[in-house]
Amino acid sequence: MRPPRVTARLFRRLAIAAAFVAGTAAADVNLYTTREPGLVQPLLDSFTAETGIKVNTVFVRDGLLERVRAEGARSPADVLMTVDIGNLLDLVDGGVTQPAPSPVLEAAIPANLRGEGGAWYALSLRDRILYAERDLDLDSFTYQDLADPQWRGRVCIRSGQHPYNTGLIAAMIAHDGVEKTEAWLRGVKANLARKAAGGDREVARDILGGLCDIGIANAYYVGRMKNSPEGSEQRQWGDAIKVVRPVFAGGGDRGTHVNISGAAIARHAPNRDDAVRLLEYLVSDEAQSLYARANYEYPVKPGVELDPVVASFGELKVDALPLTEIARYRRQASELVDRVGFDN
- In terms of pLDDT, which residue wins out, 73 or 12? 73
The counts of H helices and E strands in the chain are 15, 10
Confidence of residue 129 (pLDDT cuts 50, 70, 90): very high
DSSP per residue, 1-43: -PPPP--HHHHHHHHHHHHHHHT-PPPEEEEEESS-HHHHHHH
- In terms of pLDDT, which residue wins out, 128 or 302? 128
pLDDT number for residue 174? 96
Residues of the chain above pLDDT 90, percent: 76
Residue 4 has pLDDT above 50, yes or no: no
* Closest by Cα among 199, 264, 200 to 64: 264
Q: How far are the Cα atoms of 19, 53, 107, 133, 311 from residue 291, in angstroms, in the given order?
A: 35, 20, 18, 28, 14
Helix or strand holding residue 225 (H, E): helix 219-226
Residue 11 has pLDDT above 70, yes or no: no
Per-residue model confidence as pLDDT tens digits over 169-179: 999 999 999 99
Q: Render the burial of 148-169: b for 16+ CB within 10 Å, e for the rest.
A: eeebeebbbbbbbebbbbbbbb
Q: Cα dihedral sign for 279, 222, 325, 195?
A: negative
DSSP per residue, 281-327: HHTSHHHHHHHHHHH-PEESSTTPPPPHHHHTT----B--S-HHHHH
Q: Give the residue-averaged pLDDT of 8-19.
A: 38
Q: How far are the Cα atoms of 18, 136, 253, 328 from residue 292, in angstroms, in the given order?
A: 42, 28, 25, 29
Question: Cα separation of 163 and 326, whole Å?
Answer: 12
Confidence of residue 292 (pLDDT cuts 50, 70, 90): confident
Helix or strand holding residue 187 (H, E): helix 178-190
Backbone angles phi, psi at 123, to 5 degrees: -115, -25
Residues of the chain above pLDDT 70, percent: 92
Question: Cα separation of 142 and 117, whole Å?
Answer: 34
Residue 18 has pLDDT above 80, yes or no: no
- Residue 23 makes CB contacts below 8 A (sequence gap 6+) with none
Same fold, 8-125+258-305 and 127-255+318-339: yes
Q: Give the residue-averaged pLDDT of 143-159.
A: 98
Helix or strand holding residue 127 (H, E): strand 121-133
Third-level CATH fold of 127-255+318-339:
D-Maltodextrin-Binding Protein; domain 2 (3.40.190)
Q: Cα dihedral sign for 62, 258, 152, 338?
A: positive
What is the three-class DSSP state of 60? coil
Question: Cα separation of 199 and 189, whole Å?
Answer: 17
- Residue 179 makes CB contacts below 8 A (sequence gap 6+) with none
Residue 7 has pLDDT above 60, yes or no: no
* Closest by Cα among 278, 202, 280 to 241: 202
pLDDT number for residue 6? 44
DSSP letter (8 states) at residue 223? H
Residue 13 has pLDDT above 80, yes or no: no
Judge: domain 8-125+258-305, CATH 1.20.1260.10: no
Domain boundaries along the sequence of the chain:
8-125+258-305, 127-255+318-339
What is the three-class DSSP state of 112? helix
pLDDT number for residue 26? 52
pLDDT number for residue 72? 96
